[in-house]
Structure 1
Amino acid sequence: MNNQDPILDDKKYNKLIVVLSIVIPIIVAALFSVRIPNVEPLSFLPPIYATINGLTAVILVIAVIAIKKKNRVLHENLMTTAIWCSALFLLMYMAYHMTSDSTKFGGEGFIKYVYYFILLTHIVLSIAVVPFVLITYARAITNNFEKHKKIARITFPLWLYVAVTGVIVYIMISPYY
């Protein structure tokens, strides 16, 4: 248990959260233009990272159920696992795009608009959720639980949406790989 004022403690993470919230999307965007020469495309990765997205969604739901049942240790372990799953997803996603050309969606008509709507909201919210996850986590590890609960009510649906739509995007584009 931390004996210091939790509000002071979670503020010490603010600079790191800001830096990571800016740097992660910039690196991901920059790496889209990077191709590793003479490397076999990692075409086996999309179903793996889509599965990790699905697993993240399941973990998030179970973690919320755990905390509602007052099982804090399970909740903490699940949330840490969800963060690691998201980080692993991101690494695989970047590795795939550094070795492979982007796949074009081949659907036509209304489904094309549905796909691009889901993809666009997924991308925008995947950027937006980074600071929310980091702030929520910082407030938890510094025992600032009142503020943690408040922001977790926003973080959870955003993160869940990103995880679920990641799977949907994969399912919709998979016939065109």
Structure 2
Amino acid sequence: MTDKFIFRFVAGITIFVIAVVIVLNRHLIPGPATPPAFTPYLPLLNAILNGTCSVLLLVSLYFIKNGNIAMHKRINILTFCLSSLFLVSYILFHYLMRNDTLYGDANADGILSSDEKTLAGGLRTLYLTILIPHIILAAGVLPLILLSFYRGLQMQVEKHKKLVRWTFPLWLFVTVSGVVVYLMIKPYYHF
């Protein structure tokens, strides 16, 4: 396969995934009237997958720093698979759920005390400060992950190293911030 083909393939996948996420987040494709019973568990699953990927990325770094290429490759394949599973679960959740969850929304009774409103307002700023770069970098790191993965599997070591200098910290930020975003928004889920 030529580099031109690989770049086009990666661009196509990236554009497709971003388009699907935007369409689902804007509710342009209606999900079922009543989501399946497992739907509320998907955000927790996503956080677990993100957390696991965070740990695996660090383990992968450990192995490559110690010259164990075989384990580095195995861990990265596992991380890639779990990240792919995360993406499927994330898309499924946004397809199935019709209601958006907003940070600082009222509790299930629809009531917030003045102290809760003040605390939620301050923490909402922190939440958005984490969420916005998380979203932007999640979209931006996808092609880097795909290209890094391809270069690594092809043992194109120098090209892989150049890409991973950017891919690793961005991917790690996205996986860690994904867990933080989940923990911060979890109290406002009402399903």
TM-score by length of 2: 0.84
What are the superposed Cα offsets for residues 36-61 of structure 1, whole Å, 9 maximum, x if unpaired? 22442511111111010000000000
Residue 104 (1) aligns with residue 102 (2):
yes
Instruction: Please say which of residues 57-66 and 11-20 is displaced more in the overlay.
Output: 11-20
Determine helix, strand or coil for the equivalent of 1:57: helix
Residue 88 (1) aligns with residue 85 (2):
yes
Q: Please, which of 115, 120, 124 is the counterpart of residue 132 of structure 2?
A: 120
Residue 21 (1) aligns with residue 14 (2):
yes
Rg larger in 1 or in 2? 2
Q: Please, which of 62, 66, 89 is the counterpart of residue 69 of structure 1?
A: 66
The share of aligned pairs that are identical, in percent, is 35
Q: How big is the shift at 1:151?
A: 1.0
Determine helix, strand or coil for the equivalent of 1:93: helix
Say if 1:10 and 1:138, in contact at 8 Å, map to a contact too: no
Alignment of 1:32-51 (within 5 A): 32=25, 33=27, 34-41=29-36, 42-51=39-48
Q: How big is the shift at 1:159?
A: 0.1
CA distance in structure 2 between the aligned counterparts of 1:90 and 1:171, rounded to whole angstroms: 18
Instruction: Please say which of residues 91-100 and 119-128 is displaced more in the overlay.
Output: 91-100
87 and 10 in structure 1: CA distance in 2 versus 1, 3 angstrom threshold: same
Alignment of 1:48-63 (within 5 A): 48-63=45-60
**Alignment-derived partner of residue 112 in structure 2:** none
Residue 174 (1) aligns with residue 171 (2):
no
RMSD across aligned positions (CA): 1.5
Determine helix, strand or coil for the equivalent of 1:44: helix
Q: How big is the shift at 1:9?
A: 5.0
Say if 1:57 and 1:164, in contact at 8 Å, map to a contact too: yes
Say if 1:18 and 1:131, in contact at 8 Å, map to a contact too: yes
Say if 1:21 and 1:131, in contact at 8 Å, map to a contact too: yes
**Alignment-derived partner of residue 177 in structure 2:** 165
Q: Give the number of aligned pairs.
A: 170
Instruction: Please say which of residues 113-122 and 10-19 is displaced more in the overlay.
Output: 10-19
35 and 131 in structure 1: CA distance in 2 versus 1, 3 angstrom threshold: same
Determine helix, strand or coil for the equivalent of 1:43: helix
- Greater relative CO, 1 or 2 (CA 8 Å, sep 6+): 1
CA distance in structure 2 between the aligned counterparts of 1:10 and 1:139, rounded to whole angstroms: 10
AA partner of residue 66 (structure 1)? F
Unaligned runs of 5+ in 1: 1-7
Unaligned runs of 5+ in 2: 105-118
